[in-house]
Amino acid sequence: MAAARRRRGLTKARTRRPPFALRVLRGLAVLTVVGLVVAAAYAGLRSLGLRPRWEVEAPPPPPPPTELRARMRPPVSPLEGARDASEGGEQGGPSLPARGEDAVYPPARIDFETYGDGRLVESNAAVSEEWREQGLVLSFESYTADAVHPYVLDAGGYLPPDAQAYALGPALAGERGLEVGVIHLDFPGRPRRVAFTLLGPDLIERFLVIVRSEDERLPESAAARSPDMRYAADENSGSGKATYNPSGRGVFRAERVVVAVAAGIDRISLDGWGPPGHLLLLDDLEIDP
């Protein structure tokens, strides 16, 4: 019996678990080692020049080659002051003095109904440099799609019945539909004033417009906004917002956005990622040197 008791005592001694505090310390030590290994691997990858996708933004396109610049039309007098709402659909906005003869591109209006060379646009077609000679280059960025170009869309399902047929929108992925992402508008001529109409779901409190000038992101106040009443439904015209109801798609809102930067505008980004991810359409773009 004594021998059996001694054997049971030895078995219990061998199987006894270490104290709880010691187990906690061991777990923390393992987590610390794993964290240090992951941090070292991450630092090594960054030292090799690798960056996560969320830290990388597509760079602005290079300026046009000398021979293309030589073929461009000479600059003319820029648009003066804020445009009348009946002409440009713009509800006021800041005005800037003329840039003079240093402007590379003349003033331009782009309605996305025709390409820069006068050809009619193709329905639901990717676009990039079709308006380069007017001072506009387009790109698209998305974490969920491989597309790098926005599309000119047959936007009849998102606009009032009497609106133009086409608008600039995000990439179209066949049966998957429209992608969620960011539309980049780059301006090789670095104009001082850009205006456009932005359309999207009214449930989005504020459409995110990002303006860059001289490698800096400007505050949101660089983009002045006002309702574009050309799109307002009659019953909503007194609400202070230009809202309308496209067929079966809820309430949409139309805003006229005016960006004025004395140092010149390099890029305007229209961010539809959200949350929540949402559709953004652009129309009636005006570029003033």
- Check whether residue 7 and residue 83 sit in a common domain: no
What total number of domains does the chain contain?
Answer: 2
- Check whether residue 78 and residue 185 sit in a common domain: yes
- Check whether residue 128 and residue 80 sit in a common domain: yes
- Check whether residue 178 and residue 71 sit in a common domain: yes
- Check whether residue 27 and residue 108 sit in a common domain: no
Residues in contact with 176: Cβ distance below 8 Å, sequence separation at least 6, in sequence order: none
Can you tell me the mean pLDDT for 261-285?
Answer: 93
Model confidence pLDDT, tens digit, residues 130-170: 999 999 999 999 877 788 999 999 988 888 877 888 999 99
Cβ–Cβ < 8 Å for 279, 178: yes
- Check whether residue 117 and residue 165 sit in a common domain: yes
State the residue range of the domain holding 96.
59-288
CA 157 from centroid of its chain's CA atoms = 22
pLDDT at residue 145, as a whole number: 75
Can you tell me the mean pLDDT for 19-34?
Answer: 77
Of 31, 50, 69, the position where a domain reaches its end is 50
Model confidence pLDDT, tens digit, residues 217-244: 999 999 999 999 998 886 655 568 899 9
Return the closest-CA partner of residue 259 out of 227, 231, 228, 286: 286
- Which pTM was predicted? 0.66
pLDDT at residue 55, as a whole number: 44
Peptide bond into 219 cis (omega under 30): no
Cβ–Cβ < 8 Å for 270, 209: yes
Burial of 6 (0-12, 13-18, 19+ CB in 10 A): exposed
> Nearest-5° angle of CA 60, CA 64, CA 68?
160
